[in-house]
Structure 1
Amino acid sequence: MKRFQRIAGYLVAAALVGYFLWFASSNLDIRVLHELLTPPVIGTLIVAALAYAAIIPVTGWAWARLLAAQGESWPVSWLTAVLAVTQLAKYLPGNIAQHAGRAGLAMREGMAGKSVAITVLQETVLAVAASLIVGVSMLAASEPGLAQLPDGVRPVLAWVVPILLLSVLFLSTVHLSPARLATSPTRAMRLLGKAGGLPGARIALPALAAYAFNYLLIGSGLWLLARSAELPAALDLPLITAAFALSWLLGFLAPGAPAGLGVREGILIVLLAGVGSDGELLAFVLLARATTMLGDVINFLLGSLWLSLTRRIAR
């Protein structure tokens, strides 16, 4: 079953990459791209990249809280540096190099392997939950986004959003310790215990808020970039934020391409279809990819510098 799911995921990813490549080859206009590369757009691109890069310190803060629940105490600055220097590894095929590098650096400095595994798993679950909350909520808040939906879907969002939000918030408040779950007669609950249990509201809710803030931060940067590039006004802040959050989620569920290259672009084009011409949408997704890649480079350079300085201080 797992093999079938993995194969299906790769097929979906390949289809999205193929769709994006076809879309790009059909609508790429070098003149339009050249017109976008003006000083104001380039300046805003740097600002958007810095906003994207800022999600790493936020994630480092959340990771510190998750580690604290496992009895581990680490400086947020060091955790942020570890996250920053391993981001570029996600551009390697397989999408696991960044996690392997992160685990390797952390364990080399004395972090328990179990703590790394548990907190990365909890981070993934909370980040997925945050992407759902932000994506669906922002889509419901966007008039251009709602206009794209079939008439029957719009009223559904009116009750889906609060139910989703309340459900995630409720689950985030539940505290089930590994020790308590270890004695459960249910195998699923024992497995949950081995995965770290449920950390409870004191740990989960701030981390969930941090991951949700990350999507809002990225969306804000991309919206500023769209305005600077004079792309259609229908690409408003809620819609761009929703599209990025949902494309991250769907790209996560359909792995295969390094850093989601082509996959997330294909999803973005599908989600934004109808709010601009094909050429304008292509320009936006290319600018969005340039933003995230530049942000990853900025993080790598700053993280490498920080780790180098802290090693020298330790010596």
Structure 2
Amino acid sequence: MTKVMKQFLRWIILGGTLFFVAKALKDNWVGVTTLKIDAAGWAILVIATGVTLLAHTWAGWIWTWVLRDLNQSIPSVQFIQVYLKTNIAKYLPGNVWHYYGRIVAAKNANISAGAATLSVLLEPLLMAAAALIIVVLLSNQFAATQTNLAVLICQFLALIFILCGVHPWFLNPVIRFLHRLKNKKSANKTQPQAAINLERYPIRPLLGEFGFLGLRSLGFILTIYAIYPVNLSQMPLLVGAFSFAWLLGLVVPGAPGGLGVFEATAIALLQHRFPSAVVISAIALYRLISILAETSGAALAWLDERLVNINR
């Protein structure tokens, strides 16, 4: 019954967000169809696609850092290829198949099941932590009134909470608890696997995730700039809005690849700061750019792997 309720909830969330996006598109359809993209705009969109592809490649490199923090010796290029090839699977129902593909590939490379599983759990956790930090720091961009001391104190406490949440002091007990549950459910109780722990604070991967979100935000900003002028003063708003929308797309269930949730959140945050037609067009374009970048990344990784195998 619980499984049925979870599945029902996922469909409700997906259906609700898609309805919101469809209604916004319907209400602003005339404005959307009148927008024109000139030659310079198309060139900017190509650059946005390249920046987004670079962001996913960078994220694959960060995954190798996470594995090294778990004391795994791995070839970086090979695992970046794995990351790019599996990334497109996040659009499949369930939103877990890209993680499953990475675990299988890591185990095939003689990485322990515990380290492989933990790496694909830590990587999105650090992404979410970085996005949450950005949202907290830029939350004043969405406030109707000027930031006061109480808000600054709340922001500071929230940052401390987030940074402590990814500390080994807090993560390792959770990892050990989950490991014990897995061993209890395992049929092979005579040979329990040793738990994998974080030995140090994952500072380098966490900082790397800021670079990932910065590149993704830049791709989003370039997409808007291709159809509408953007001022430097609007950059913090756009980065904050993108980070919040991307974060909700990552954590909300029932949205493969954040589909629907990202769009609905970005529209809600930006439609009162930019013309609605511009926001909807830019978000639709950016979804296409993201899919094109992810597909290109998977294809290039596959091609590079084949060329290396041929030359051996």
The TM-score normalised by the length of structure 2 is 0.83
Q: Does structure 2 retain, via aligned residues, the 8 Å contact 1:172–1:205?
A: no
Q: Work out the CA distance in 1 between the residues paired with 2:154 and 2:292.
A: 35
Pick from 153, 157, 161 the counterpart of residue 167 of structure 1: 161
1:1-315 superposed matches below 5 A: 3=3, 7-29=8-30, 31-33=33-35, 35-36=36-37, 38-140=38-140, 145-146=141-142, 149-151=143-145, 156-174=150-168, 190-191=176-177, 196-201=196-201, 204-231=202-229, 233=231, 236-313=234-311, 315=312
Question: What is the one-letter code of the residue matched to 2:297?
Answer: N
Measured at CA, do residues 131 and 196 of structure 1 come closer, stay the same or move farther in structure 2, by a change above 3 Å? farther
Measured at CA, do residues 154 and 75 of structure 1 come closer, stay the same or move farther in structure 2, by a change above 3 Å? farther
83-92 or 163-172, larger mean C-alpha shift = 163-172
Question: What is the one-letter code of the residue matched to 1:96?
Answer: V
Number of residue pairs the alignment of both structures matches: 296
Measured at CA, do residues 123 and 189 of structure 1 come closer, stay the same or move farther in structure 2, by a change above 3 Å? closer
Q: Work out the CA distance in 1 between the residues paired with 2:253 and 2:233.
A: 27
Measured at CA, do residues 154 and 24 of structure 1 come closer, stay the same or move farther in structure 2, by a change above 3 Å? farther
3-state DSSP of counterpart to 1:54: helix
3-state DSSP of counterpart to 2:71: coil
3-state DSSP of counterpart to 2:253: coil
130-139 or 188-197, larger mean C-alpha shift = 188-197
Measured at CA, do residues 312 and 249 of structure 1 come closer, stay the same or move farther in structure 2, by a change above 3 Å? same
Structure 1 stretches lacking a partner, 5+ long = 182-187
Q: Please give the root-mean-square deviation of Cα atoms over the aligned residues, in Å.
A: 2.8
The answer for the alignment partner of 2:188 in structure 1 is none
Q: Which runs of 4+ in 1 moved over 6 A?
A: none
Q: Work out the CA distance in 2 between the residues paired with 1:154 and 1:49.
A: 39
Q: Work out the CA distance in 1 between the residues paired with 2:139 and 2:303.
A: 39
Shift of 1:7: 4.4
Q: Work out the CA distance in 2 between the residues paired with 1:262 and 1:154.
A: 34
Q: Work out the CA distance in 2 between the residues paired with 1:189 and 1:110.
A: 21
Q: Does structure 2 retain, via aligned residues, the 8 Å contact 1:52–1:292?
A: yes
Shift of 1:111: 2.8
Q: Work out the CA distance in 1 between the residues paired with 2:305 and 2:231.
A: 42
21-30 or 280-289, larger mean C-alpha shift = 21-30
Q: Does structure 1 retain, via aligned residues, the 8 Å contact 2:57–2:297?
A: no
The TM-score normalised by the length of structure 1 is 0.82
207-216 or 61-70, larger mean C-alpha shift = 61-70
Shift of 1:10: 4.1
Question: What is the one-letter code of the residue matched to 1:21?
Answer: A
274-283 or 8-17, larger mean C-alpha shift = 8-17
Q: Work out the CA distance in 2 between the residues paired with 1:93 and 1:193.
A: 27
